[in-house]
Structures are given as C-alpha cells and as structure tokens.
Amino acid sequence: MTDLDVTDRRILRELDHDARMPTAMIAQRLGLARGTVQARLEKLSSSGVLRAHSARISPAALGRPVGASVQVELDQHQISEAIAALADIPEVLECFAPAGSTDLLLRVVARTPDDLYRVSEVIRLCPGIRRTSTSLFLREVIPYRVTGLLEEAAGRRG
C-alpha cells in the first residue's frame, strides 16, 4: 500500500473531480509547481495508485447501456481456465474473487436485455463454470468515486 501524503491526496481529489485535467491546471489550482505535480503523478502511476493511460469510459457510450452482476460457481480444479476464458469476453468489465459462497463476481455490460442473456450464456459455457446467477442493474445511484476516501484519509492525518 502506498502512503499518500497531503499533496498526493490534493492532486488525486482534483483528478477524481476531472480525470482529464491538465497537469498545469492542477498545479495552478493547488498552488504547486508544474514539475512537482508531474513528478507526483509519475510516482502515483508507477506505484499503481493511478492506472497508466486509463480513463473511465461509460459503457453506454460504447453501445452497452445494460449492466449486471454475475455470480459464478466454479469447478475448483478449473479456476485458471475459467478466468482465462472470462478475460476473453469483452462485455466482462471486472472480475472479483469474493469471500463467501460465490467463487467469482463479474460486472458485465450488454446492448439490451436479450443481449445480456447472450452474454450470460457465453459466460455459462466457459470451461469450469458450473452455475451462474445474473442480477440486472436498474440504475447507477452512486458512481465510482474515491474523493470521500481521500478526504477521510486527510482528516485522520490532519
């Protein structure tokens, strides 16, 4: 885990509000030298805090407005094969290995509910997958964000 200082958290809060904000603008808004901000961003990228060359793109903008979670039950002897097959499915955005009775939890997208059925079938037919359960997302009520975590960390450290 990377230890973020006050300056790192301030820079990350700016990026959480606008991920495309230019380095010079961040520097101006925070009263820092552009070189300082650039060096911090490079450090944050190399340490894995920021994903290199990443932008959160709305799946709806790519023609995939339907979102769902898929719980997967696996044949424990074929975990690697299942994960490799799931990684080849473009509609699988994320895959987690949670604690509990679910072996894998996927976040998937599709064009329509019928297309979601197709995606679910592609997942179900992957090697090692015994059973799936799909839950449709009706709407996003809290988008992905980390600002609260950054502010909480700033409050603890003063």
CA dist 126 to 2, 63, 87, 117, 132, Å?
Answer: 36, 24, 11, 15, 11
Pick the more confident residue, 5 or 146: 5
- Structural contact between residues 13 and 50, judged by C-beta atoms closer than 8 angstroms: no
Whether the pLDDT of residue 33 is over 70: the answer is yes
Same domain for 87 and 45: no
Same domain for 50 and 89: no
Same domain for 67 and 29: no
- Structural contact between residues 89 and 64, judged by C-beta atoms closer than 8 angstroms: no
Same domain for 63 and 132: yes
Burial class of residue 95 in the structure, from the number of CB atoms within 10 Å of its CB (0-12 exposed, 13-18 middle, 19+ buried): middle
The count of structural domains within the chain is 2
In a domain, 143, yes or no: no
Whether the pLDDT of residue 155 is over 80: the answer is no
pTM for the predicted model, two decimal places? 0.74
Quick one: pLDDT at residue 152?
Answer: 74
Kindly report the CATH number assigned to the domain that includes residue 85.
3.30.70.920
In a domain, 113, yes or no: yes
Please, how many CA atoms are within 13 Å of residue 98, restricted to the half-sphere of its CB? Answer: 14
Q: Tell me which residue range forms the domain holding 31.
A: 6-55
In a domain, 150, yes or no: no
Pick the more confident residue, 45 or 51: 45
